[in-house]
Structure 1
Amino acid sequence: MAIPYPHVYYGDRLVPASDATLGVATSAVLYGLSVYTVFPVHVEGPVRTAFRLADHFRRLVESCRIIGIDRFDDDWDLDRFVSAATELVTANAPTSDVFVRATVHVDESIPGTRVRGCRTVVSMFVYDAVPIVPQDGMRLKTSQWRRIPDSAIPSRAKVNGAYVNSVLAKQDAIDAGYDDAIFLDGAGHVCELSAANIFLVRGGTLITPDVSCDILDGINRRTLLTLATEDGIPVVERTVDLTELYIADEVFVTGTSAGVAPVTEVDGRVVGTGQPGPVCEALGKRHASALRSDALHGWVTALARP
């Protein structure tokens, strides 16, 4: 289990992790009314770089807009976000790769079920970059729980409270002896895992559910689509039937906390050869390289000392 590093950014300053607390009567606690993002930081000696930091900040902004949180934009811009992340990582001085979780909490006390005009507070904390899924071959189970539709709680907004849906699905999969769950939408089409986007390969074509399929439009998902296109791999975004996973040449997943991880079994059926496939391995290497240094796309931001 990941443990936060000792220094946490909370409000407008660094504080000890034990002091970064929310009241029990706040909307964030009562209703899960917070939005978040997680970004990786690569550490190589004194050099620390964050991956697609501007996109992670934009996701926070867009999640706030979707949910109706209207105070965040007033006080935060990208420069302040980068400065806070730099201060946080510098203070904790990690010696290996870490993740940073940044969250916008609605900390108004007992406001009822509303969000406009409510006070917010920002938190950021650092923890070791340990993948949340096996990296050498995952066993997946189709979940009995369906993905929350965009018409209920939008998946493209990373809302803390919505992750109860993911907890139900993953815990059921773990209880059944699997590593994670595959969500289907209301029509029975493949969405994603509990906290990762999914891809399959058939006949050399990379296929993934499109953004209208109740998925998170993941930053790493977009990264893989870009890298695949650059490598000349045909890419298709569309609805995906569950049985397509059963006959795929490869299945793999991606996400900040998942990396690029191969799937070797779905619902008791072996995927492809039962080993990580060539497309997954090639894109995994490209992705790992991009996390560390990427002059071509401008995806990497140096976190210099303030």
Structure 2
Amino acid sequence: MADPYARVYFGDRFVDAAEANLGVATSAVLYGLSVYTVFPVHVDGDQRTAFRLADHFQRMIESCKIIGLDHFAREWDFDRFVEVARQLVAENAPTSDVFVRATVHVDASIPGTRVRGLHTTVSMFVYDAVPIVPQDGMRLKTSTWRRIPDDAIPSRAKVNGAYVNSVLAKQDAIDSGYDDCIFLDGSGHVCELSAANIFLVRNGTLITPDASCDILDGINRRTVLTLAEEDGIPIDQRTVDLTELYIADEVFVTGTSAGVAPVTEVDGRLVGDGVPGPIGDGLRKRHDAALRTDDLRGWVTRLV
């Protein structure tokens, strides 16, 4: 649990967190009709840097396009997005790493189940960068709830209302004594966790469900794939069977709020020797360094 910092961007201005409110009759409240992204900001003294900010902005654009929110792309460009993020972080003056959540809300009141032409409001707020999963080895349970398929609510769009699916699955895992869930698709193939992508390692090959497997094509997922390719690690993006996780040498997950975190147990079965493996650990270290370092990839945007 983490509370928003004191100052929030909402409705084209910066306000106190208590003033950033949506009406109870808006589509965002009635139908969960909002899309969002979360990006990390690394704080090192007076220096503040955001990770892959252009990709997070592009995901907002694409999520809006998929769902049919047509105001955001007309009213926002990347430069405006960066400037609001810069001012927001400056107003809150964090002294340690934080996450920034940016959301496009449909704030039209009682418009019915439609989306085109409806007014939207953008919000951004800052909160402490507390991981949502254990970082030293997590226990996962296959969910009885199936992942929403692309032809129902597309996973590649981060739609607020779709996360009811994740809540049901993760709460079931927690109630059963586990840290998080593993979603399967309608055919029983592995998708992802409640809010993180999943990888496994077998015989030195890094394996992960491909982007057509009802997953969020996560920005940190792409980051790890790039780093693995640079390290010469063989990569296989494809359909993954659940039983492959049972016999994997390593399993780990990725996500902005998850980091790169090892999995040590799946459905009561130890992963490998029950300790984090070398490939996942090496990619975690490389990922941590990438979050903090400006380099030729252009992944880091300086906010100060």
Q: Distance in 1 between matches of 2:222 and 2:256?
A: 12
In the TM superposition, residue 74 of structure 1 has moved relative to its aligned partner by 1.2
SS class of match (1:96): coil
In the TM superposition, residue 254 of structure 1 has moved relative to its aligned partner by 0.4
In structure 2, the partner of 1:191 is 191
In structure 2, the partner of 1:272 is 272
In structure 2, the partner of 1:224 is 224
Q: Map 1:104-143; keep pairs closer than 5 Å.
A: 104-143=104-143
Runs of 4+ in structure 1 deviating by more than 4 angstroms, as ranges, are none
Deviations 1:159-206 (A, max 9, x none): 000000000000000000000000000000000000000000000000
Q: Distance in 2 between matches of 1:294 and 1:287?
A: 13
In structure 2, the partner of 1:238 is 238
Identical aligned residues as a percent: 81
In the TM superposition, residue 294 of structure 1 has moved relative to its aligned partner by 3.0
In structure 2, the partner of 1:73 is 73
RMSD, aligned CA: 0.4
For 2:88, the aligned partner's letter is: L
In structure 1, the partner of 2:61 is 61
Structure 1: which 5+ residue stretches go unaligned?
none
For 1:32, the aligned partner's letter is: G
Q: Distance in 2 between matches of 1:190 and 1:296?
A: 34
Q: Distance in 2 between matches of 1:75 and 1:288?
A: 34
Q: Map 1:1-306; keep pairs closer than 5 Å.
A: 1-304=1-304
SS class of match (1:81): helix
Deviations 1:133-160 (A, max 9, x none): 0000000000000000000000000000
Q: Distance in 1 between matches of 2:33 and 2:236?
A: 34
In the TM superposition, residue 296 of structure 1 has moved relative to its aligned partner by 2.1
Shifted more, 289-298 versus 38-47: the winner is: 289-298
For 1:176, the aligned partner's letter is: S
Q: Distance in 1 between matches of 2:145 and 2:84?
A: 38
TM-score, reference length from structure 2: 1.00
SS class of match (2:262): strand
For 1:274, the aligned partner's letter is: G
For 2:106, the aligned partner's letter is: V
TM-score, reference length from structure 1: 0.99
Deviations 1:216-264 (A, max 9, x none): 0000000000000000000110000000000000000000000000000
Q: Distance in 2 between matches of 1:164 and 1:94?
A: 31
For 1:222, the aligned partner's letter is: R
For 1:3, the aligned partner's letter is: D
Q: Distance in 2 between matches of 1:232 and 1:124?
A: 38
For 1:142, the aligned partner's letter is: T
